[in-house]
Amino acid sequence: MRSFNYHKPDTLDAALALLSGNDEALPIAGGMTLLPTMKQRLAAPEDLVDLSGLPGLADVAMEGDILVIGAMTRHADVAASPLVKEKLPALANLASRIGDQQVRHRGTIGGSISNNDPAADYPAAVLALNAEIVTSKRTIAADDFFVAMFETALEPGELVTAIRFPLPEVAAYMKFANPASRYALAGVFVAKTTSAVRVAVTGAGPSVFRASDIEAALAESFDATALERISIDASELMSDIHADNEYRANLVMVMARRAVALAQQSG
């Protein structure tokens, strides 16, 4: 790893000042993605701005009907939070299955969504739950946040501070995990509110996406049987050493049916 200047600011303003106008600076949260990338020299920042000293970024709280999770909240803390377990158990369950316990002790929700790995779990929850991403300068709707593989709507120097989750009637996440890395080969998050059903797919495409055919079928009848005649177009899905696109397309439907069944049980 190339060396860098290390900064650990204790206010958000100081962090933003360090990042602003400096193309060679990067924020670091849990480092579970960034440090491996730096070891491979795929990233070589000159300045690293550690967000772990910023106050108030790791809080979990209800604001009215919205569950607000601070960007620096670790996966293990989301998984163990009594509030998340009560209000949005599908999200606690998702967090409990990211990587392994040691990854969950360092990795954060803000880091995960900012990175937008095509196989990451949180982006599926954020998109299906129609969450809002609060940043240092604005609030971004989930539909506008995830742009492409490893690409988000964040501008250079812009920091995610919190994610705001409206509570669904029922929701569930199912993933078929890569047996080695635990990343999703295909993961489907299903969320039903009083007005809509939203379904987000991760692991299968170049970036998380909403599956409109599945959403339409479930809006008519929120039952796994409603998906029996639906299939998903494999041509835009990924093929790699772990699975080809046809296999992923099939897995998406299997995970979608299982997620709906699980959501019905928990609802």
Partner 1 sequence: MQISFSLNDEPVTVDVDPSTLLSDLIREQLSLTGTHVGCDTSQCGACVVHVNGDSVKSCTMLAVSADGGEVRTVEGLSKSDADLHPMQIAFRENHGLQCGFCTPGMLMSAIDLVKNNPDPNEAEIREWLEGNICRCTGYQNIVKSIIAGAAAMRAAS
Ligand X SMILES: Cc1cc2nc3c(=O)[nH]c(=O)nc-3n(C[C@H](O)[C@H](O)[C@H](O)COP(=O)(O)OP(=O)(O)OC[C@H]3O[C@@H](n4cnc5c(N)ncnc54)[C@H](O)[C@@H]3O)c2cc1C
Binding residue (CB under 8 A) for partner 1 from 9, 14, 31, 66: 31
Q: Which two tokens stand for residue 167?
A: 């509570």
Interface region with ligand X, contact rule CB under 6 A, candidates 82-90, 181-189, 192-200, 214-222: 181-189
Q: Can you point out the beta strands (E) in 111-237?
A: 132-135, 139-141, 146-148, 151-152, 160-166, 170-177, 184-192, 197-202, 209-210
Quote the distance between the C-alpha of residue 34 and its chain's center.
16
Q: Which two tokens stand for residue 228?
A: 């029996």
Q: Which of partner 1, ligand X, none sits in contact with 6, Cβ below 5 to 8 A by type?
A: partner 1
Residue 232: strand, helix, or coil? coil
Binding residue (CB under 8 A) for partner 1 from 68, 76, 125, 252: 76
**Residue 13 CB contacts under 8 Å (≥ 6 apart), including other chains:** none
H/E run at residue 95: helix 89-95
Interaction of residue 120 with ligand X, rule CB under 6 A: yes
d(CA 13, CA 17): 6
Q: Judged by CB, which is closer to partner 1: 106, or 210?
A: 106
Q: Judged by CB, which is closer to partner 1: 175, or 257?
A: 175
Q: Which of ligand X, partner 1, none sits in contact with 1, Cβ below 5 to 8 A by type?
A: partner 1
d(CA 105, CA 111): 13
Q: Which of partner 1, ligand X, none sits in contact with 191, Cβ below 5 to 8 A by type?
A: none
Interaction of residue 182 with ligand X, rule CB under 6 A: yes
Which single residue is written with the structure tokens 């959403």?
215
Binding residue (CB under 6 A) for ligand X from 38, 67, 71, 199: 71
d(CA 165, CA 248): 28
Q: By CB under 6 A, what part of segment 5-34 binds ligand X? A: 26-34
d(CA 60, CA 244): 38
Q: Are 169 and 65 in contact (CB under 8 A)?
A: no
Binding residue (CB under 8 A) for partner 1 from 18, 32, 128, 208: 32
Interface region with partner 1, contact rule CB under 8 A, candidates 10-18, 61-69, 177-185, 193-201: 177-185
Binding flags for partner 1, 77-96, as an x/- string (CB under 8 A): --------------------
How many residues touch partner 1 under the rule CB under 8 A: the total is: 28
Residue ranges binding partner 1 (CB under 8 A):
1-6, 8, 28, 31-32, 35-36, 38-39, 48, 50, 52, 76, 99-103, 105-106, 180-182
